[in-house]
Chains A and B, each alone.
Chain A
């Protein structure tokens, strides 16, 4: 057997692509687990079609999974791939634009039949012409070799073909010097009831690994040093899972039961599914008949004293608008999670966008201010969800937490913390028989009213959507009272600025260019700005997590820079919000609305041209 040379590298991007039925998401997540064991930092992103099973072999049915891993901190899922696994011609044609010029392409040559080539839109076989020149093409008859690997087992055709993704995974494991036996326990758990399938998967995975070892085209393999992560215990989380966990941690710390009223919607459903698993934490989840019932039951649960949450995506947020107004009026705490997706209307359900910002800020009848915060990464979703719940309960107001498809479905390495180390949460719960209690009497620091929970002696009161009289909470149509209440509701949200961290500049004050982002673009902006700083460019950045209210020092920060560019995955919603809030500054803008994240290369180009202007 030949012995390949091991090359040390800093980082790599691997992309798995196949038909929706080829199990690429699973393959990717198993490779992520192995990456975790190898001690690398990483970020992943699944890229799948909105149809569960689009026509087999066509480009619209291609499902992908990308992982970026390395020795240094990884903030993005990677621009272009170093290695692409293509399980059929359609996945090759769809993904070739996402690979580097000299990538390693591992293709299942068995699937490159005339019929499949035609379905994918290839006029000639790319394996036979110049299409792939420059790349290292590894042709693997994956179907044949998978059959070969399990031929002694008494397994039906379908089960055999279902395990062929493991052959591809075996090859990638070899390429990155991974221990494939670590994956065995996954098979043993997943197929507990079917030992034959466990055996088959093990055999196929091993066969893939061994096959790669014998391949002449593979001259060397790669090793990436363990990442320089802080000491501690780690795990892998997706953003949706982290959101759910942050919420549960907030419930635990606040001593309130968690209630979730929600309706399934891509890409937010995972949060509902995750919370539904944890009844042991008295986590009550209600899958409602529609989005409206989802939030309205949440309002009811909040009134009854639960830490109440509803989760949705853009179209669902539209349906919830009226009810959010009721939550504003009744001044009840709740977290509304919007995992944004491509819009408008049904838009691009499985793609990511940041285009619900204005809806979150203003999409209600009347002036109805709420706190709006945005998570900056999959792991940050944990902390953002926790903070959203804390702010909601301590300030007695709905909070909209914006994440998006890239955060929700993306995964990252998460450092496990102790729940006790999270900041405490102290909701202003009214005491039984308090003679001073008045439904709309406020705490002077926060302007929050008290939370008087049904069942408590001596605090009976009525809430509702009609305007309430200041302090007493009686229904009131008095013009001056209405104006006062409008101001109080706004002031209450504005005052939250006293309780959130100030904006932090990454880089030098007074650099030639300040890059501004919000939410999920943090990783890619950070990577770009760091690279440019290392090249000696005068660029700094700030990333907004708190949108309503803005951190107190924004004006001070902005005034230190001559040029400001606001980057976001929409048509310019945050930049226009800033133009409204802080009109004294001039803002350049850079927008990408393709349902795809920014790439470092395109950002660099933009920033360089701004620097050269």
Chain B
């Protein structure tokens, strides 16, 4: 089904979404940059999809990231720990005409809310899910999270974490999610592109944002973000373009057998024709899963829209059924219902 919202001529600016509340994240926290990018994207989303400023709803769970709704001038609701997904889903199902944005963190989404996370991916309501991954519990001051690398020392893993971490992208795709993208708090241009793509995608758009917690997990993404190493450890995927990276775009990804391999153009006879071309729209999750799993040092981490497959949304399925039943059911109101079936008269 097509987008429910009729495009109306709407002009919006960043100022329409700025809040008068004091932003209380630590100075230098990656969340500030994400907030700015969202403020920049909302006007575009409104204009392109026909949402007025009152049609935006920002929903969150608990954690540093989840203070987000208070810092935006939109409708918003700050939920309880781990449950932003059902909160957002209830809003979207009740009123599909709203643009629903969900803000969560790795503790909120991967630990206490893990169950809801996989189910929202599977159900595919048209919600934009921004998951800030700083691989630590910030608000409770530094405990390991389900995305903390094995072996990392934190307050609750003084000997180093004993646990294998989740990769959020693998969870999304494993749960048969239709959209997964990755962004970086230090790259506002990429964030805005990805957030807009998420908004334009009709379905559950889940975006992982690698975010730096300066206080409790500073430089956790350093290998990916450092000036010296970033070109070799990042690949920004673009639909229809070969998967190239490196300072001079001299490296690329090639499929060898059933596995991805990093190759260098011109080396060992490798040409541009050998390089995989990115197709986020294929329903086949094979390559998408491999891309989401890639991590330095063996591979660059993938950024941009990794997977974006059109599929019926939950609210369209539900509301189409409502329309159908309304049109066809002989029972139009409660009086009809109470008088239907076996009834009898007492004189």
- Chain A residues proximal to chain B, CB less than 8 Å: 33, 36-37, 39, 226-227, 229-236, 245, 248-249, 252, 257, 259, 261, 278-282, 284, 286, 288-290, 292-294, 296-306, 308, 322-323, 325-326, 330, 416-419, 454-466, 474-475
Closest to B66 in A: A464
Question: Which one, A234, A292, A459, contacts B86 given CB within 8 A?
Answer: A292
Evaluate contact between A297 and B331: CB separation under 8 angstroms. no
A419 to B342, CA, bound (A): 19
With A and B bound together, what is the CA distance between A252 and B83 in angstroms? 30
Give, as a whole number of angstroms, the nearest-CB distance from B72 to chain A: 8
In the complex, what distance in Å separates the CA atom of A304 from the CA atom of B99?
Answer: 12
User: How far apart sit A468 and B79, CA to CA, in the bound complex (Å)?
Assistant: 14
When the two chains form their complex, are residues A245 and B337 in contact, meaning their CB atoms are under 8 A apart?
yes
Contacts between chains A and B (CB distance < 8 A), count: 195
What residues on A are CB-neighbors of B89 within 8 Å?
Answer: 286, 297, 300
Taken together as a complex, chains A and B put the C-alpha atoms of A308 and B89 apart, in Å, by: 13
- Say yes or no: A245 contacts B77, CB within 8 Å: no
With A235-B343, A282-B322, A293-B116 as known contacts, state yes or no: A301 contacts B74, CB within 8 Å: no
User: B60 — nearest CB in chain A belongs to which residue?
Assistant: A464
Q: How far is the CB of A239 from chain B (nearest CB, A)?
A: 15
Instruction: Please give me the residue from chain A that is nearest to B343 by CB atom.
Output: A235
Interfacial residues of chain B within 127-179, with CB under 8 A of chain A in the complex? none
A252 neighbours in B (Cβ, 8 Å) = 333-334
Contacts of B85 in A (CB 8 A): 293
15 additional A-B pairs beyond A322-B80, A454-B57, beta carbons within 8 Å, are: A33-B342, A227-B346, A231-B346, A235-B342, A245-B334, A259-B94, A279-B325, A279-B329, A284-B318, A290-B115, A298-B90, A299-B87, A419-B335, A462-B77, A464-B69
Q: At the interface, yes or no: B241 with Cβ under 8 Å from chain A?
A: no
**A300 near B78 (CB under 8 angstroms)?**
no
CA A227 to CA B347, docked complex, whole Å:
11
User: What is the bound-complex CA distance between A284 and B316, given in angstroms?
Assistant: 12
Residues of B within 8 A of A233 (CB): 339, 343-346
Residue of B nearest to A246 (CB): B334
B229 sits at the interface (CB 8 A): no
Q: How far is the CA of A302 from the CA of B88 in the complex (A)?
A: 11
Task: Give the residue of A33, A229, A460 whose beta carbon is less than 8 angstroms from that of B73.
Answer: A460
Kindly state whether residue B32 has any CB partner on chain A within 8 Å: no
Instruction: Across the A-B interface, give the 4 residue pairs with the lowest CB-CB distance, nearest first.
Output: A300-B90, A464-B78, A297-B90, A280-B329
Interface size on B, residues (CB 8 A): 58
**Alpha-carbon distance A500/B98, docked complex (angstroms):** 36
CA distance A202 to B59 in the complex (A): 58
**Contact of B97 with A by CB under 8 A:** yes
CB-CB under 8 A from B335, the residues of chain A are 418-419
Closest-by-CB residue of A relative to B89 is A297
B93 within 8 A of A: yes
| Docked CA distance A325–B321 (Å) | 33
Among A236, A280, A419, A466, max chain B CB count under 10 A is at A280
B114 to chain A, nearest CB (A): 11
1/0 per residue, CB under 8 A from A, across B31-65: the answer is: 00000000000000000000011110101001000
Could you say which residues of chain B place their CB within 8 Å of the CB of A230?
Answer: 346
Interface contact B116-A245, CB-CB below 8 Å: no
Most buried by B among A232, A249, A464, A465: A464
Cβ contact within 8 Å between B95 and A297: no
B260 at the interface (CB under 8 A from A): no
A259 touches B343 (CB 8 A): no
CB neighbours of B341 from chain A (8 A)? 235
In the bound complex, how far is the Cα of B78 from the Cα of A47, in angstroms?
44
B80-A305 in contact (CB<8A)? no
Q: Is the CB of B78 within 8 A of A463?
A: yes
Contact sample, A vs B, 15 pairs, CB 8 Å cutoff: A245-B338, A279-B326, A280-B328, A281-B333, A289-B116, A297-B93, A299-B77, A300-B86, A301-B93, A308-B94, A416-B338, A460-B74, A463-B78, A465-B78, A475-B70
User: A250: shortest Cβ distance to chain B, in Å?
Assistant: 10
B119 within 8 Å of A (CB atoms): yes
- In the complex with contacts A235-B341, A284-B322, A458-B54 CB distance below 8 A: yes
Cβ–Cβ contact A304 & B95, under 8 A: yes
By a CB distance below 8 angstroms, the chain B residues around A305 are 94-95
Asked if B21 is an interface residue, CB under 8 A from chain A, the answer is: yes
A323/B326 in contact, CB under 8 A: no
Question: Closest CB of chain B to A207's CB: distance in Å?
Answer: 24
Q: Which residues of B contact A298 (CB under 8 A)?
A: 90
Distance in angstroms between the alpha carbons of A303 and B84 in the assembled complex: 13
In this complex, the member of B75, B90, B93 whose beta carbon has the largest number of chain A beta carbons within 10 angstroms is B90
- Chain B residues with CB below 8 A from A37, complex form: 344
In the bound assembly, the distance between CA atoms of A503 and B283 in angstroms comes to 63
Interface residues of B in 204-255 (CB under 8 A from A): none
Give the distance in Å from the alpha carbon of A278 to the alpha carbon of B333 in the complex.
10
Q: Is B76 an interface residue (CB 8 A)?
A: yes
- Residues of chain B in range 295-347 having any CB-CB distance to chain A below 8 Å: 318, 321-322, 324-326, 328-329, 331-335, 337-339, 341-347
Q: In the complex, what residues of B have CB within 8 A of residue A33's CB? A: 342
Whether B262 sits at the interface, judged by CB under 8 Å, is no
With a cutoff of 8 Å between Cβ atoms, the chain B residues found around residue A39 in the complex are 344, 346
- Contact assessment for A323 and B83 in the assembled complex, using a CB-CB cutoff below 8 Å: yes
Contact A461–B80 (Cβ < 8 Å) = no
User: B77 touching A330 by the CB < 8 A rule?
Assistant: yes
- B94 and A284 form a contact (CB under 8 A): yes
Task: Please name all residues of chain A whose beta carbon is closer than 8 Å to the beta carbon of B21 when the two chains form the complex.
Answer: 474-475
Q: When chains A and B are docked, how far (Å) is the Cα of A457 from the Cα of B94?
A: 18
Q: Which residue of A lies closest to B97 (CB)?
A: A455
- Would you give the shortest CB distance from A147 to chain B, in whole angstroms? 31
Residues of A within 8 A of B116 (CB): 289, 293
Cβ-based interface call for B91 (8 A): yes
| Minimal beta-carbon separation of B102 from chain A (angstroms) | 10
Asked whether A299 and B90 contact (CB < 8 A) given A305-B95, A455-B55, the answer is: yes
Closest A residue by C-beta to B78? A464
Q: Is the CB of A456 within 8 A of B342?
A: no
Q: A231-B347, A259-B90, A293-B116 are in contact. Are A455 and B78 (CB under 8 A)?
A: no
Interface contact B325-A234, CB-CB below 8 Å? no
Known: A33-B342, A323-B83. A462 touches B93 (CB 8 A): no
A600 vs B228: C-alpha distance when bound (angstroms): 85
Q: Which of A252, A284, A296, A417 has the most B CB atoms < 10 Å from its CB?
A: A296
* Cross-chain contact of B69 among A235, A259, A462 (Cβ < 8 A): A462
A279 to chain B minimum Cβ distance, whole angstroms, is 4
Cβ–Cβ contact B86 & A36, under 8 A: no
A464 to B87: give the CA distance in the assembly, Å. 11
Assess the B87–A297 pair: CB atoms within 8 A.
yes
B75's contact among A286, A306, A460, by CB below 8 Å, is which?
Answer: A460
Q: Verify B326–A292 contact, CB threshold 8 A.
A: no
Bound-complex Cα distance A541 to B59 (A): 49
**Chain B residues with CB below 8 A from A303, complex form:** 77, 90-91
Q: How far is the CA of A586 from the CA of B314 in the complex (A)?
A: 56
Measured between alpha carbons, how far is A290 from B338 in the docked complex, in Å? 31
| Residue ID in chain B nearest A253 by CB atoms | B334
Q: Which of B80, B333, B334 contacts A296 (CB 8 A)?
A: B80
Q: Are B70 and A300 closer than 8 Å at their CB atoms?
A: no
Beta-carbon contact of A461 and B90 below 8 Å: no
- Tell me if B86 and A417 are in contact (CB < 8 A): no
- Minimal beta-carbon separation of A215 from chain B (angstroms): 30
For the complex, what is the distance from the CA of A297 to the CA of B88, rounded to whole Å?
A: 7
A304 touches B90 (CB 8 A): yes
Contact assessment for B54 and A300 in the assembled complex, using a CB-CB cutoff below 8 Å:
no
Nearest-neighbor residue (CB-CB) of A33 within chain B: B342
B69 & A279 in contact (Cβ 8 Å cutoff): no
B327 to chain A, nearest CB (A): 9
Verify A300–B80 contact, CB threshold 8 A: no
> Shortest Cβ distance from B24 into chain A, in angstroms?
9
Contact check, A454 vs B91: say whether CB atoms are below 8 A apart.
yes
With a CB–CB cut-off of 8 A, which chain A residues contact B346?
39, 226-227, 229-234
When chains A and B are docked, how far (Å) is the Cα of A290 from the Cα of B116?
9
Smallest Cβ-Cβ distance to A458: which chain B residue: B54
CA distance A379 to B311 in the complex (A): 44
Closest to A237 in B: B338
Instruction: Report the minimum CB–CB distance from B45 to chain A (whole Å).
Output: 15
